[in-house]
Amino acid sequence: MELSERIIELLSKSDPMKSNEIAEALNIDKKDLDKVLKQLKNDSKITSPKRCFYSIEK
């Protein structure tokens, strides 16, 4: 499973999360995560309801 798919799956099952919480939950480097989060946000697959938090519209 690709990292982007893992992020979407995690966020779909949780409340808005900070990027460091996502990195810890998926056991990945935060720098790698930040790149994917930026792309997912640009593609409108995730949202940022408030600064540094990420979620999926439900």
- pLDDT beyond 90 at 1: no
- pLDDT beyond 90 at 58: no
The pLDDT score that the predictor gives to residue 57 is 78
Classify 54 as helix, strand or coil: strand
Task: Output the average pLDDT for the chain.
Answer: 94
Domains of the chain: 3-54 (1.10.10)
Q: Look up the pTM and report it.
A: 0.90
| Tokens encoding 5 | 């798919």
Report pLDDT digits (tens) over 13-36: 999 999 999 999 999 999 999 999
Residues with Cβ within 8 Å of residue 7, at least 6 apart in sequence: 22, 26, 33, 36, 37, 40, 46
Angle at which helices 3-12 and 19-26 pack, to 10 degrees? 110
